[in-house]
Structure 1
Amino acid sequence: MIQAATTDRTAQLRFRPGRWIDGWDAEDAGQWESGGRAIAQRNLAWSVFAEFLGFVIWQLWSITVVMLPEAGFSLTSAQQFWLISVASLVGATLRFPYTFAVARFGGRNWTMISAALLLIPAIGLAIVVNFPDAPYAVLLVIAALGGLGGGNFASSMANITFFFPQREKGYALGLNAAGGNIGAAVAQFLVPIVVTLGAAATLRIELAGWIWVPLIVVAVWGAWRYMDNLSEAKSDTAGTAAALREPHLWIMALLYVGTFGSFIGFAGVFPKLIADVFPQFSTFHIGSAAVSLAFLGALVGSLARPYGGRLADRFGGAIVAVCAFAAMAAATVALILALPRGGFWAFLACFVALFCATGIGNGATYRMIPAIFAARGAATAGEVHSVGARRQGAAALGLISAIGAYGGFLVPQVLNLSQQSTGSYALAFWCFVGCYLALGLIAAAVYLVPRDALDRRIV
């Protein structure tokens, strides 16, 4: 009887024009093994590729800005900081509507749309860098449009979560997130090489935008040809509303600003910091090509993120998060002490350690969210709720990822303010040390102390 029921549910999987799938149930073992897994993995692969390009475009100005003076642009340091940070401000804001776009338009359809939108900032950058006399407002608008890539993370994660069963969702979402995050490192590595390779006396900065256009077209085509829409993918507005009323959402959002916000903020500003503090090390020439070591920060942070999740699985997310904040504070103090000595390699080592700690913190804090809401559900098991803890936790993941991305705007602006007011970045870094210590204490006080509100669990 059980086998017959499973077969019946599997048979209900129907394919409609426009690559719509009806009857999807990833928790149905029969459906999953008889073809569901292959469908999910195919959608995941193209989702990762599209999200990767989203991060590339999101962080494109971070490496382009430091080249603009050599191309004839006259920009103040404050203007450069705004060009770097405005995309993060827009991207973080777009994550809220992008989260609900999948249910409204379909995962495949929205991946096509959101990937195609990346052509606007890519081509816009390629055109505007040829006009050194272009008004600053035009540069700012085009840089802001790079935020379209930042929104892709939310819709991509929302889409993939519908395809995978609960037992495999963590791996799929982790792979999706890591594939996107590494886009920042790839952009910062490839762009200096491409714009200088074969160039004689002038940089070909327009290639920083043009090189991604064919890949974006491939992403749109791949989504159209191979991805699917799930009719069962619905927005959980009730779950979102319930999650917003949960105090732990806001606590975790604050912690995520500290971890992911630091990662994306420092990733964006790292090329400029190197150019400002150690201009002689801004690029290294290999033949006719130039390489910037700024990509190492985003690369290390991206690769460290899955390990943060694994450590959280083994030891608990809270203890790993507290250790990550302590490591972030220690690395930042070491960085402050290294700055007056003028040693680039010590500066780079301290920043790589900081990026590694942010990546581990990203994985740990993201892993804490479902555990916290599960503990809240267990603690209130005897109460009547209209929305279950799992639904609240799923909604909280999207909301927290959106709020955390605002750190990508705050970090450059704090550094900008420090430089404008004191002439150095030391004050900003001391502020970051204080924030990391405070966030570590909050995480320890709330989540390492058994509480009735969390079913006496240490998450």
Structure 2
Amino acid sequence: MSTTAEGVRPVGGVVSPARSGRWIDDWRPEDPVFWENTGARVARRNLAFSIFSEHIGFSIWSMWSVIVLFLGPKYHIDPAGKFMLTTVPTLAGAVLRLPYTFAVAKFGGRNWTIVSAVTLLVPLAVTAVILKPGVSYTTLIIVATLAGVGGGNFASSMTNINTLYPDRLKGRALGLNAGGGNLGVAAVQLVALLVLATAGKEHPRIILAIYLPLIVLSALGAVLFMDNISSARNDTHAMRDVARDGHTWVMSLLYIGTFGSFIGFGFAFGQVLQVQFKADFSTPIKAAYLTFLGPLVGSLIRPVGGVLADRLGGARVTFVNFVAMAASAGLVLAASRMGSLPLFITGFLLLFAFAGIGNGSTYKMIPAIFRAKAVLAGGADPAVDAEGAREARRLSGALIGLAGAIGAFGGVLVNLAFRQSFLTYKTGDGAYIAFLAFYALCFVVTWAVYLRPSPRRLAGV
């Protein structure tokens, strides 16, 4: 049935018609009294279980980045085939991000968290049934695609937390939520390392068994401790409005470079090590010892990008960050040609770190763009204009959802680049050159659109 936040009267004293689940009809996070007395406690509780659910979602989404390490000669899959097995869940997750974004307002944040958590059982169960030598490659592709449902969790979780928190606290809350989710990539790789070290490469189902109770706990936590907010609304007009704005596509390009790199490298790093340095990584466990480090570094450092953007400006941080990513890609290319494993790993860890920083700085740029556009158009600064602030929030929220979905496609491009490079050149050099060129494009675009001296430049982005 409908409820209100603890001890708070519903708006107008009226409770909405009965609905299934825990619904809060009076939610005023911008009201300091409401927030202090009730809102903060409710939001923190929902955030904690949202982070856990999103974390498990990311682990399931990136599960095939470690499953492929267990697919030995008996499966008869070459490196190009393994890269495709990590590409399809990345693609599916990117596609699902948009519908998952709208699902929160339609079904409720708590209700959709339950549904999205339970849905994770499907790829887990199907993988457990089919994963054995002799299974056809087509079947593996279909099953790997199912893991994409975990990628949609990020969009719905971020949308839900965005609804729960006041503007002044959204940056920190969204950063914690995103960072906690991103850590799921490193977590599943650590689990794989544990399984490889103890049970061996013949037992990938142990990974699935470990995540089964965690998924159940995630769904149960949402059932018992999360809430739906009645005031959450889908604004399809905002999505159409931002789709017509050129800055939407610029920011989507930049987010492909940051988040796309993070998730793409997270999926591919273990395979790259095994294929690029066969002598050093002759067994899956040797690669697994290093695979988790990149996603771990990229996840933990993500909030730094937001902090730096607050102090120095999002565009400045993003520009310097892409220069650093291009230099890191150049270092990886040089290491590949020299055959230097220490230099190669150093370059890749730097790529993960700068991708994490860029995730934070690009997200910080989005609301700043719409505030700056309002001022440039002759309107009042949204910082002091309530109507302008609402409009900026409306458009920012839509752009965050759209850029998040498009950015995830970057992970698809990363895996396809590796696949083609190893097919054509037998090394990843072609992919490293492509990454370097793309990051160069990104820092040139960032400078040209947001930093180049011009009367039409958006100040403060």
TM normalised by structure 2 equals 0.92
Aligned to 2:93: 91
Which digits, 9 at most, give the CA deviation of each residue in 1:247-291, with x for residues without a partner? Answer: 1010000010011111111111000001112234448899xx995
- Give, in angstroms, the shift of residue 210 of structure 1: 1.8
The 1:382–1:324 alpha-carbon spacing in structure 2 relative to 1, beyond 3 Å, is closer
Which digits, 9 at most, give the CA deviation of each residue in 1:425-447, with x for residues without a partner? Answer: 11111111111111101001111
- CA contact 2:10–2:25 (8 Å) conserved in 1: no
- Give, in angstroms, the shift of residue 10 of structure 1: 8.4
Aligned to 1:116: 118
Aligned to 1:59: 62
- CA contact 2:368–2:460 (8 Å) conserved in 1: no
Aligned to 2:178: 177
Distance 2:222 2:281 in 1: 37
- Residue of structure 1 aligned with 2:372, choices 362, 372, 375: 375
- CA contact 2:259–2:356 (8 Å) conserved in 1: yes
Check if 1:38 corresponds to 2:41. Answer: yes
The 1:403–1:241 alpha-carbon spacing in structure 2 relative to 1, beyond 3 Å, is same
Aligned to 1:208: 207
- CA contact 2:196–2:284 (8 Å) conserved in 1: no
Which digits, 9 at most, give the CA deviation of each residue in 1:191-235, with x for residues without a partner? Answer: 121244145xx6211112221010000000000000000100111
Distance 1:453 1:238 in 2: 26
- CA contact 1:301–1:359 (8 Å) conserved in 2: yes
- CA contact 2:372–2:460 (8 Å) conserved in 1: no
Secondary structure at 1:406 match in 2: helix
Secondary structure at 1:331 match in 2: helix
Superposed counterparts of 1:352-367, under 5 Å:
352-367=349-364
Secondary structure at 1:418 match in 2: helix
Aligned to 2:450: 447
Distance 1:420 1:347 in 2: 20
Check if 1:47 corresponds to 2:50. Answer: yes
- Residue of structure 2 aligned with 1:410, choices 403, 408, 413: 413
- Give, in angstroms, the shift of residue 88 of structure 1: 0.7
- CA contact 1:283–1:292 (8 Å) conserved in 2: no
Superposed counterparts of 1:133-148, under 5 Å:
133-148=134-149
Unaligned runs of 5+ in 1: 1-6
Aligned to 1:101: 103
Distance 1:11 1:281 in 2: 68
Secondary structure at 2:111 match in 1: helix
Distance 1:272 1:13 in 2: 58
Q: Write the letter of the residue equivalent to 2:169.
A: E
Secondary structure at 2:24 match in 1: strand
- CA contact 1:239–1:391 (8 Å) conserved in 2: yes
Distance 2:335 2:454 in 1: 41
- Give, in angstroms, the shift of residue 8 of structure 1: 7.6
**Which contiguous aligned blocks of 4+ residues in structure 1 show a shift greater than 4 angstroms?**
7-17, 283-286, 381-385, 450-454
User: Which stretch of the first structure deviates more once superposed, 359-368 or 215-224?
Assistant: 359-368
Distance 1:352 1:13 in 2: 55
Secondary structure at 1:132 match in 2: coil
Which digits, 9 at most, give the CA deviation of each residue in 1:1-34, with x for residues without a partner? Answer: xxxxxx9888969697621110111111111111
- CA contact 2:110–2:226 (8 Å) conserved in 1: yes
Aligned to 1:428: 431
Distance 1:311 1:13 in 2: 45
- Give, in angstroms, the shift of residue 450 of structure 1: 4.5
Aligned to 2:222: 223
Superposed counterparts of 1:7-406, under 5 Å:
18-69=21-72, 72-129=74-131, 131-199=132-200, 203-282=202-281, 291-382=288-379, 388-406=391-409
Distance 1:290 1:253 in 2: 32
- CA contact 1:300–1:355 (8 Å) conserved in 2: yes
Aligned to 1:4: none
- CA contact 1:119–1:213 (8 Å) conserved in 2: yes
Secondary structure at 2:145 match in 1: helix
User: Which stretch of the first structure deviates more once superposed, 51-60 or 372-381?
Assistant: 372-381
Secondary structure at 2:154 match in 1: helix
- Give, in angstroms, the shift of residue 78 of structure 1: 1.8
The 1:216–1:9 alpha-carbon spacing in structure 2 relative to 1, beyond 3 Å, is closer
Distance 1:271 1:290 in 2: 6
TM normalised by structure 1 equals 0.92
Secondary structure at 1:212 match in 2: helix
The 1:239–1:450 alpha-carbon spacing in structure 2 relative to 1, beyond 3 Å, is farther
Distance 2:13 2:281 in 1: 58
Corresponding residue pairs, total:
445
- Give, in angstroms, the shift of residue 449 of structure 1: 2.4
Unaligned runs of 5+ in 2: 1-7, 381-386
Distance 1:154 1:339 in 2: 36
User: Which stretch of the first structure deviates more once superposed, 36-45 or 372-381?
Assistant: 372-381
- CA contact 2:274–2:287 (8 Å) conserved in 1: no
- Give, in angstroms, the shift of residue 127 of structure 1: 2.3
